[in-house]
A and B are shown apart, each in its own frame.
Chain A
Amino acid sequence: DVVMTQSPLSLPVSLGQPASISCRSSRSLATRAGNTYLHWFQQRPGQSPRRLIYKVSNRDSGVPDRFSGSGSGTDFTLTISRVEAEDVGVYYCMQGTHWPPYTFGQGTKLEIK
Chain B
Amino acid sequence: EVQLVESGGGLVQPGGSLRLSCAASGFTFSNYWMHWVRQVPGQGLVWVSRIYRDGSATDYADSVKGRFTISRDNAKNTLYLQMNSLRVEDTAVYYCVRDANGEWGDSWGQGTLVTVSS
Contacts and interface: CB of A to CB of B under 8 A. Distances in A.
Specify whether A and B are partners: yes
A39 interface: yes
Interface of B: 35, 44-47, 50, 59-62, 95, 99, 102-106, 108-111
Interface residues of A, number: 24
A37 B47 contact: no
Given A37-B104, A96-B102, A48 B111 contact: yes
A41 interface: yes
Interface string A19-54: 000000000000000010101010100001111001
Contacts of B103: 39, 54-55
Contact of A94 (B50, B62, B95, B104): B104
The A interface, classified by DSSP as helix, strand, loop or mixed, is loop
Contact of B50 (A54, A100, A107): A100
Given A48-B95, A100-B59, A101-B61, A39 B104 contact: yes
Contacts of B111: 48
Given A99-B59, A101-B61, A49 B46 contact: no
